[in-house]
Structure 1
Amino acid sequence: MEAINCIIETPKGYGVKFDFNHKLGTLELRKALPSGLVFPFDFGFVPGTKGEDGDPLDVVVVSEFPSFPGCAVKCRIIGVINAKQKEKNGETIRNDRLVAIPEISVQYGATSELKQMPGKIVRELENFFINYNAQAGKKFTPLQRRGSNAAKRLIQAARQDAEPTKQIQLLLPLYSNRGALFPESYFNLVKEKLLGTFGGVTIYTQSPAEGLWQKNGKKVVGDTIIVFEVMAASIDASFWKKYKEELKLKFKQDDLVIRQCEMGLL
């Protein structure tokens, strides 16, 4: 899957736990670990997702270099450790742990799937979360280890569950530079792509808009455009950059406009 941003809350080697307070928009010190217990690798979350516990999906970032609390790291997700957790009140919830590798990692540069990771490291991760939760009176039980495709499906579902705060608009020309109408199939492919990725799309096709801009400060250039609009919990810049290049080739354009703004639902 494409690399995504992961936010580090607690770096490896730390004996305290930080959590991101989404209301305050900052990290806060949550707890101190028992003497001798430290995080074996960076621990954080995938922004723009919502897990079963109502928080963003947890992610363990395995790397050979240090980070710091609040650091954003572009990672590829190589798999997930599915797990269940029994709370102190007896309630049992899913508490999966995604496993990620930074794109700039050299030591793990060839690792693309969880099964390629040394078993010792994965067992260390599982044992840490078993002991970490036991200290809080909870029971963490690993269920199975799954690969990148399962992790991708988990992230996609969690993105759809998260409250959307971003509005993204894609402006596509209705006609080619030579004045020929683009085939309807072109726009259907865009619709299917956005619908499959974001779970919903709005298309303004009944009254195509007119775009005007100045070229070289003098000549006014115009386009009849169709607007595709989606909502998301976060902006995946790598997805939009890659998709924009694909569409520029498809529609034979020097550039395309993709814009985003903050939004809220009433």
Structure 2
Amino acid sequence: MHPWHDIAVDPDRIESELPVVIEIPAGSKNKYELEKKSGILKLDRVLSSSVRYPANYGFIPRSFCDDGDPLDVLVLGQEPVVPMTLVYVRPVGVMHMRDSGKADEKILAVHAHDPAFNHIRKLEDVPPHLVAEIQRFFIDYKVLEEKEVVVDPFEGRERALEVIRTALSDYWKMRANER
């Protein structure tokens, strides 16, 4: 099974039960990344800066973005999640950024089955300091690699859902062009 291509996403359930494959557990300095051809998780690098991932980090199966990768997701929850675990999430916002000149959007979501996050339904429900920490992480995480990252403010749930729908549609366009 290939985690990018073989996990179905029900477009009618993306608001409450969106599947995400975790690549990086919260608190890690290791940057794991899906090897697109094989579907195996590889260690891309260890972060150079003295920061750690502020949330579990993964991707939406059967999605595709302008950077050539599946759509990234930060998943808020009580515990770090083991890489290659499938988690169902509820999207609450989106952060737009440019990483080395390329658009690289990040969906902010909560674990749909974590009781400590059950009350979070929209971006405004997320503690503001946590949102600031996440933005700061992405501003700082490549500083010592001397790579430029530009982070824009988060946008809310409706914009996040638009970005997700576009990425799901773009996946099928990309697959059709491969044939």
TM-score in terms of structure 1 length: 0.58
User: 2:102 is matched with which residue: 93, 111, 127?
Assistant: 93
Contact 2:49–2:141 at 8 Å: present in 1 too?
Answer: no
Which letter maps to 1:112?
Answer: R
**Structure 1 residue 115 and structure 2 residue 124: aligned?**
yes
- Write 1 or 2 for the structure with the bigger share of strand: 1
CA distance in 2, matches of 1:264, 1:8: 27
Match of 2:28 in 1: 14
Distance 1:142 1:48, change over 3 A: same
Percent identity between matched residues is: 27
After superposition, the Cα gap between the structure-2 partners of 1:35 and 1:131, relative to the gap in structure 1 and judged at 3 Å, is closer
SS in structure 2 of the partner of residue 161 of structure 1: helix
Q: 2:141 aligns with which of 123, 129, 132?
A: 132
Which structure has the larger Rg?
Answer: 1
* Higher RCO by CA contacts (8 Å cutoff, separation 6 or greater): 2
Rounded Cα–Cα distance in structure 2 between residues aligned with 1:15 and 1:265: 34
Which residue of structure 2 lines up, in the alignment, with residue 150 of structure 1?
159
Q: Residues 140 and 35 of structure 1: is their aligned pair in 2 closer, same or farther, counting only changes over 3 Å?
A: closer
Residues 145 and 106 (structure 1), Cα distance of their counterparts in 2 relative to 1, 3 Å cut: same
Paired position in structure 2 for 1:181: none
- Match for residue 91 of structure 2? 77
Return the offset for 1:66: 2.5
Could you say what secondary structure the match of 2:96 adopts?
strand
1:143/1:35 CA distance change after superposition, 3 Å? closer
* Root-mean-square deviation (Å): 2.0
Counterpart residue type for residue 55 of structure 2: F
Give the CA deviation at 1:108. 1.2
1:141: which partner in 2?
150
CA distance in 2, matches of 1:126, 1:119: 11
**Alignment partner of 1:163: what SS?**
helix
Name stretches of at least 5 consecutive residues in structure 2 with no aligned partner. 1-14
**Equivalent of residue 81 in structure 2, options 67, 84, 89:** 67
**1:56 alignment partner in structure 2:** 70
Moved over 6 A (4+): none
Quickly say closer, same or farther: Cα 1:265–1:57, change in 2 above 3 A. Answer: closer
Residue type of the partner of 1:102?
H
Equivalent residue, structure 1, for 2:115? 106
Q: What's the TM-score once normalised by structure 2's chain length? A: 0.84
